């Protein structure tokens, strides 16, 4: 669930990794390493607290880490960001359909929305099943494609450092990594906090660290592969599909389908996080809310995927920074200073 909530349209397509890491050239690897450390720590903290408090949504966790007043503020911000993330996932689905499958963009949006509705109607168990099946498959294919790109020796290696000064989301690799983790943790917290009744605190620590390592290693492989083909991949909304096309048309089509599946897992995570905040998972209201918000976001998905990633994700990162800092400081404060 942790990995599935992060690896969506932006991650699996390579667009997030390009804008938050690859653009920094030789500093990109440091950014990936920092993000992996943060993912491990934050995932472990969220799941540990959720398991101990037996949470069903993130509101109780927010109050624990932020206090009642700031917790309510972050609650409102998180709801907005979950809806924005859902729009980006559907836009990514449309981009894959139109740019690499030769199908209408709107068809990609509608199919992603339709499947998201079906999964949400099945409740929490179906959300878990979707991730258990899709996450290992998409990780395997992404890693295989990126390893091939690395071993083939990309055509533009000599241009990496000269071109890496253009169009960065921030001015420093470390801050870019922090923002990257911040906005991704909004969805992750919404999803993971809904699992509090199904895990123990100790299980949560192990799963959080394992998920963080998996995310960091995958991001690192994509970064190294992207650097070997930079700046050519900047011409594509879905950079990983450009790498796959270098292997062959058949591989490109397979990866396009799997990236679309990756989009689904995060779309489902956003809809689930939103609905589980407003109603208990598996309840009738949970299903109604999840389906309704999914259908409402379809028109906004007509915007360009790349533009949405570049403009909304940094904003989400700044908003999520408050929550990330609270999650970093809160366990230490409660351990050593709380009465």
175 occurs within a structural domain? yes
Q: For helices 239-247 and 123-152, what crossing angle results, to 10°?
A: 60
- Copy the structure tokens of residue 130: 């979707």
Contact indicator for 294, 115 with CB cutoff of 8 Å = no
336 occurs within a structural domain? no
338 occurs within a structural domain? no
Query: pLDDT below 50 — which residues of the chain?
Result: 156-166
Give 166's Cβ-side CA count (13 Å radius).
8
Q: According to the model, what pLDDT value does residue 157 have?
A: 43
Rounded Cα–Cα distance for residues 326 and 65 (Å): 6
Q: According to the model, what pLDDT value does residue 208 have?
A: 93
- Residues in CB range of 13: below 8 A, 6 or more apart: 92, 95, 96, 237, 238, 239, 240, 241, 259, 262
238 occurs within a structural domain? yes
How many distinct structural domains can be found in the chain? 1
Task: Give the single-character DSSP code of 266.
Answer: H
Here the CATH number for the domain that contains residue 73 is: 1.20.1740.10
339 occurs within a structural domain? no
337 occurs within a structural domain? no
58 three-class SS: helix
Give 181's Cβ-side CA count (13 Å radius).
28
Domain holding 78, by residue range, is 2-329
- Copy the structure tokens of residue 198: 């199904």
13 occurs within a structural domain? yes
């Amino acid at each position: 669930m942790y990995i599935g909530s992060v690896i969506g349209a932006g991650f699996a397509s390579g667009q997030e990794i390009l804008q938050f890491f690859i653009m920094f050239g030789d500093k990109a690897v440091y950014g990936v390493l920092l993000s992996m450390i943060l993912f491990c720590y934050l995932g472990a903290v969220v799941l540990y607290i959720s398991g101990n408090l037996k949470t069903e949504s993130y509101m109780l966790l927010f109050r624990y880490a932020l206090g009642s007043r700031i917790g309510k503020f972050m609650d409102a911000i998180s709801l907005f960001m979950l809806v924005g993330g859902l729009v980006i996932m559907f836009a990514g689905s449309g981009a894959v359909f139109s740019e690499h499958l030769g199908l209408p963009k709107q068809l990609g949006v509608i199919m992603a929305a339709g499947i998201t509705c079906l999964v949400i109607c099945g409740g929490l168990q179906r959300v878990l099943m979707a991730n258990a099946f899709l996450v290992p498959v998409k990780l395997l294919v992404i890693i295989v494609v990126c390893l091939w790109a690395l071993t083939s020796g990309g055509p533009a290696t000599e241009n990496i450092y000269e071109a890496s000064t253009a169009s960065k989301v921030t001015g420093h690799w470390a801050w870019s990594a922090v923002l990257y983790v911040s906005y991704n943790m909004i969805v992750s917290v919404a999803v993971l906090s809904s699992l509090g009744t199904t895990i123990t605190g100790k299980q949560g620590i192990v799963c959080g660290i394992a998920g963080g390592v998996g995310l960091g290693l995958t991001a690192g492989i994509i970064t190294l592969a992207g650097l070997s083909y930079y700046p050519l991949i900047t011409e594509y909304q879905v950079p990983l599909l450009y790498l796959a096309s270098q292997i062959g048309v058949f591989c490109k089509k397979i990866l396009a389908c799997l990236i679309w599946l990756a989009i689904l897992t995060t779309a489902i995570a956003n809809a689930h996080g939103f609905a589980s905040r407003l109603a208990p998972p598996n309840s009738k209201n949970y299903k109604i809310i999840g389906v309704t918000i999914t259908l409402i976001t379809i028109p906004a998905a007509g915007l360009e995927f790349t533009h949405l990633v570049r403009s909304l994700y940094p904003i989400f990162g700044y908003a999520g920074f408050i929550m990330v800092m609270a999650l970093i400081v809160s366990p230490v404060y409660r351990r050593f200073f709380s009465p």
